[in-house]
Amino acid sequence: MEKQGQKRLFIAGVVIVSMFFVELLFSPFSTVLAQIDNKAYLPFISKEYPPLPTPEPTPEPTPVGPVGGTFTALVVDPINNQIVYGGSYLSGVYKTFNQGDTWYSKSNGLGNIKIQSLAIHPTNSSIVYAGTYEGGVYKSNNGGDNWYAINNGISVERPVVYDLEIDPTNPNTLYAALRIQGTYVGQIYKSIDGGASWTLIFTGNKGSVFKSDDYFYDIDVNPLNSNELYLAAHEHGFYKSTNGGQNFFVINSGVTDLSARTFAIDKSEPGLVYGGVWKKAAVYRTENAGNSWVNKQFRLPKNAPIFRLYPDPFTASPMKIFCCYLWIWNLFY
């Protein structure tokens, strides 16, 4: 009898335990377990972290143009012709990335914002130079974002830098054509270290090669011969050097207007050079490196004062030449 009682007690225990697990299976807790992957471990601890702030994008510079006013200099990026720099006589340097649809101010670091001239490195277009009115020369190594003065060796105060020219075959060699403020005397400086230092190589004093004091608006390096330089003298016409600027001699055969302002050298055709003048005769052309000139003002306004001639670096045989002239509207004609 005792054994039978123990057996009945064991069976009852098994039934009770089985009922407990059946109850557990259909309880709300079983629903939670069913939602957990069968490989999950308990206990499960969760903490909610606040979302990280979204970083704000760096704002783009605000375009300031198209820009009006007096522009005295222009250079095109030799690698990307969508990029152009313009120098304003009143408000510094501007840059466009879309051939002039919009412009951005690029004058940070310029101690003088009266721009007279610009030059750009032929193979590294991040390097740009600016010549100012009475402030000397500045350089940028980052596409005009920042500028710093490079006047070591330029001995005169308040130089007016009418032109800057880079030797295309040796870009560390630069020339600066300037005028001593308060005088009619021009000077040519040369740098062979990217503008870090300058050396005076020529002056426009009376008695040098001129009958009277004179200064210079433009100096150009022949891209096919670095020793050959062309110089536009304010009242003495066209001059040339064949020894890198050590000496200059006159090349005015066929030129009747000596108010020289600018040159454009066609690098695709040796000896082809254009010269612009200010008073009456507009543009001259030579096919023999300046030995003789022929007037070429057809389709230009009569007596147009020529300020700059720009060869298009992306054309050849012959190159396109852009002409910048001053249009004077006379109400009494």
Determine the pLDDT at residue 40: 41
pTM for the model stands at 0.78
Cβ contacts of residue 87 below 8 Å, gap of 6+? Answer: 71, 72, 73, 74, 93, 94, 115, 116, 117, 118, 130
Q: Report how far residue 87's alpha carbon sits from residue 72's, in angstroms, rounded to the nearest whole number.
A: 6
Domains of the chain: 69-149 (2.40.10), 166-333 (2.130.10.10)
Of residues 55 and 140, more confidence is placed in: 140
Of residues 142 and 43, more confidence is placed in: 142
Q: Which of 269, 249, 246 is nearest to 320 (CA)?
A: 269
User: Could you give the 3-state DSSP secondary structure of residue 190?
Assistant: strand
Of residues 6 and 268, more confidence is placed in: 268
Band (pLDDT 50/70/90 cuts) for residue 9 is very low
pLDDT 10s digits, 197-246: 999 999 999 988 899 999 999 999 999 999 999 999 999 999 999 999 98
Please name the residue that has the structure tokens 């606040």: 50
Band (pLDDT 50/70/90 cuts) for residue 313 is confident
Determine the pLDDT at residue 48: 54
Q: Six-digit token pair at 298?
A: 């057809």
Helix-, strand-, coil-residue percentages of the chain, each rounded to 5: 10, 35, 55
Inter-residue contact 308 to 276 (CB < 8 Å): yes
Q: What is the mean pLDDT of residues 298-311?
A: 83
Determine the pLDDT at residue 25: 40
Band (pLDDT 50/70/90 cuts) for residue 172 is very high
Q: What is the mean pLDDT of residues 158-180?
A: 96
Determine the pLDDT at residue 311: 86
pLDDT 10s digits, 11-24: 444 444 444 443 43
pLDDT 10s digits, 251-261: 999 999 999 99
pLDDT 10s digits, 21-63: 434 344 444 444 344 444 443 444 444 545 555 554 444 567 7
Determine the pLDDT at residue 54: 52
pLDDT 10s digits, 76-132: 999 998 999 999 998 999 999 998 889 999 999 999 999 999 999 999 999 999 999
Using the predicted structure, report yes or no on whether residue 328 has a pLDDT greater than 90. Answer: no
Q: Which of 75, 91, 92, 72 is nearest to 83 (CA)?
A: 75
Dihedrals φ, ψ of 40, to 5°?
-70, 155
